[in-house]
Amino acid sequence: MIKKIITILFVSLFVFADKALAVCPVCTVAVASGVGASRSVGVDDLIIGLWVGALIVSMIMWTVDWLNKKNFKFKGLGILTAIGYFALVVLPLYTMDIIGNPLNSFCGCGIDKLLVGIIGGSIAFWFGAVWYEYLKERNNNKAYFPFQKVVMPILPVIILSIMFYFLTK
pLDDT digits (tens, 9 = 90+) for 70-119: 998 889 999 999 999 999 888 888 887 778 878 778 877 788 888 999 99
Residue 11's pLDDT band, with cuts at 50, 70 and 90, is very low
Q: Give the model's pLDDT for residue 18.
A: 46
**E strand or H helix at 78, and its extent?**
helix 77-95
Predicted local confidence at residue 12, as pLDDT: 45
> Where does 2-44 have alpha helices with state H?
2-15, 25-38
Rounded CA separation 33/36 (Å): 5
20, 44, 96, 97, 119 from 112: Cα distances, Å? 33, 12, 14, 11, 11
Amino acid letter, 21? L
- Any residues with CB less than 8 A from the CB of 20 and at least 6 apart, and which? 62, 65, 66, 69
Domain ranges of the chain: 22-168
**Residues 38-55 pLDDT 10s:** 777 888 889 999 999 999
| Res 20 pLDDT > 80 | no
- Mean of the per-residue pLDDT values for the chain? 81
pTM summary value:
0.76
